[in-house]
Amino acid sequence: MPESVTAWARAKLNLTLDVLGRRADGYHELLSVMQSLELADRLVVSLTSDGIEVAGGPDLPPPRENLAYRAVEVLREKTGFRAGVRVEIEKRIPVAAGLGGGSADAAAALAAVNHLLGLGLTSHRLAVLAAEVGSDVPFCLVGGTALVTGRGERLSLLPSAPSMWLVLARPSLAVATVAVYEAWDRHGRPGPPASPRLVAALNRQDFAGMVAVLGNQLEPVVLQLYPQVAALKETLAGWGALKVWLCGSGPTLAALAAGYEAASEIARRSEAAGYQTWLTRTLV
């Protein structure tokens, strides 16, 4: 049995995010095409004498609030393993940015502990446990390109999206996700969902058709609540991005570029303007 396992936790990007309404349980029914990115946290999962430990930089939430901790805890509850587990997280995905960093860490921890301890859980069983940990964790476990429904826990794999260079940029502010959804409940005018049109474009491998429908139905609400995000969107578009849209509930924006050189130039200008900036591409 190895003493440690290294795993990569890939960021996720909503290529589309459609909000279909509030459910009886208080959650919102979502329809989204999600995509894995090369941007990733690095996890080292190792055996210890006892308990569950999660370590990393100051951006990590307290252990009991950390989804990676919860993932190992759920795995222990369901399988009864007694070994101590330590999860060290090197954060590269920005925290509270709409990119699923916590969910990605949880998914990577599930898979790594399963391998490290030789638990022998199937992909299906891990996916069931992932749904108990958090809404986006099943997608982060599987990765690739997928249509995600419900609260985000049900998914269907899709043809891979093409390789696309992206600049992720955010102003220095935090978005209150609960407030965003409450504002959507009051003022949302979503229109027809874009996800089915994106699925059709993916099936045709129609890049222009894909770009035309990239977007996020939470975006109008977020731009109204946070003028800094609206200003950044206009700026990124002015620097030559093919499309700019909101990641999750924000505040990060994704700017699609024509290629690596164009993306590098947008990233350079974004950093020079004082925005937090990441250059990445879709994982194919």
Annotated catalytic residues are 12, 136
Residue written as token pair 């990124």? 236
Encoding tokens for residue 178? 């609960």
CB 54 within 8 A of CB 63: yes
CA-CA distance, 74 to 77, in Å (whole number)? Answer: 5
Cβ burial of 273 (10 Å; 0-12, 13-18, 19+) is middle
- State phi, psi for 2 to the nearest 5 degrees: -65, 155
Helices (H) and strands (E) in the chain, counts: 10, 11
Cis peptide before 2 (omega within 30 of 0): no
- State phi, psi for 39 to the nearest 5 degrees: -55, 130
Encoding tokens for residue 234? 């206009």
Q: What is the distance between the terminal CA atoms of the chain, rounded to a whole angstrom? A: 31
The candidate with the shortest Cα–Cα distance to 271, out of 259, 255, 282, is: 255
CA-CA distance, 89 to 40, in Å (whole number)? Answer: 11
Q: Show the beta-strand stretches assigned E in the chain.
A: 4-22, 28-48, 52-56, 84-90, 145-150, 154-157, 165-170, 215-216, 243-246, 253-256, 276-281
Query: CA 27 from chain center: how many Å?
Result: 18
